[in-house]
Amino acid sequence: MPANSDTILIFVNEEPRRVAPGCSIRQLRDRFKPAADILIDNGHPVTEDVAVGESDRVVLIKRGEVPSSDELEALMVARHGPGIHEKVKRARVGIAGCGGLGSAVAIALARLGVGVLRLVDYDIVEPSNLNRQQFFIDQIGRMKTDALAENLARINPYVKTESIQMRLNRANIAPTFADCDAVAECFDDPIAKRDMTVAMRHDLPHVPLVTVSGIAGIGPSDKIGIRKIFDNIWMVGDGETEAAPGQGLLAPRVAVAAGHQANVILRILLGEEF
């Protein structure tokens, strides 16, 4: 018999609380936060009055009010479902290039709550980038690494970012990403993409890489596939549609590819792939 058989332990806005068994979520609201109009039980907003159970995580929010930092992280985390947060929070992921792919991959991973994102790029935000890259007009002229880190902090301040301003090449890729749990190749240049694969395959065979080839144009989204090309390397893309005059890089296909990259990385971090 538990010591407190007449109560159950739950968490209300991340505070441990003992309440009577059968206690309902509206009773909790009335007791702990009467002004709350959004009631969340284990990550799911509930509209009907439901009884809470042992170990439930209940979050009570007043619409429009920014929750405290602990509440906010708990809310975002609970939405993922069990077992995700603990694993991604411990991870460090490298973003090699912070353009169309890199900015979108980083945002997805920040929303997941990946512990550390290492952002590497040598370039600044230019007006032409805004057709697909996750920057804002007022960031034109800024270093991409800094502008992206700023945007990520606005989305999820519990993700740490490490900005490195350098041009990656065959020699400096391995030292830059040796301590990462996974890396996304997000370059534009095909030779740099090739160097990334060769470096990661040769120098860091235990670090998974998700590379991209073939995402330009307006071809069907479902031609953008995912395949494992070498033991530690996955490739996203249709394999052939290159960025060229008359065949640009457009936001939708770049987003499809970046979403594939982020999901492969999530699956790697959760032990589903590697």
Partner 1 sequence: MEIKVNGEPRQIEQETSVLKFIQSLGLDSRKVAVEHNGEILEETEFSGKTIKEGDSLEIVRFVGGG
Residues near partner 1 (CB under 8 A) are 97, 99-102, 170, 186-191, 193-194, 197-198, 201-202, 211-216, 229-230, 235, 237, 239-244, 249, 254
Residue where the block lists tokens 């690494």: 145
The length of the chain is 274
| Nearest distance in Å: CB 203, partner 1 | 10
Nearer to partner 1, 59 or 212 (CB): 212
Q: Cβ 233 to partner 1, closest distance in Å? A: 8
Smallest gap, in angstroms, from Cβ of residue 75 to partner 1? 33
Cβ(118)–Cβ(92) below 8 Å: yes
**Shorter beta-carbon distance to partner 1: residue 88 or 186:** 186
Q: What is the dihedral of CA 189, 192, 198, 203, to 10 degrees?
A: -140
Nearer to partner 1, 111 or 201 (CB): 201
Smallest distance from partner 1 to CB 207, Å: 14
3 state SS for 32-48: HCCCCCEEEECCEECCC
Q: Which is nearer to partner 1, 78 or 120 (CB)?
A: 120
Return the C-alpha torsion angle 148, 150, 155, 161, nearest 10: 70
| 146/238 with CB nearer partner 1 | 238
Name the DSSP class of 181: S
Nearest-Å Rg of the Cα atoms of the chain is: 22
Q: Tally the C-alpha atoms within 13 A of residue 129's C-alpha that lie toward its C-beta.
A: 26
Composition of the chain by helix, strand, coil, percent to 5: 35, 25, 40
Shortest Cβ distance from residue 236 to partner 1 (Å)? 11
Smallest separation, CB 97 to partner 1 (Å): 6
Q: Which lies closer to partner 1 via its Cβ, residue 149 or residue 186?
A: 186
Between 66 and 244, CB nearer to partner 1: 244
E strand map for 90-224? 92-96, 116-121, 160-165, 182-185, 209-212
Whether 35 contacts 18, CB under 8 Å: no
Please, what is the minimum distance in Å from the beta carbon of residue 271 to partner 1?
25
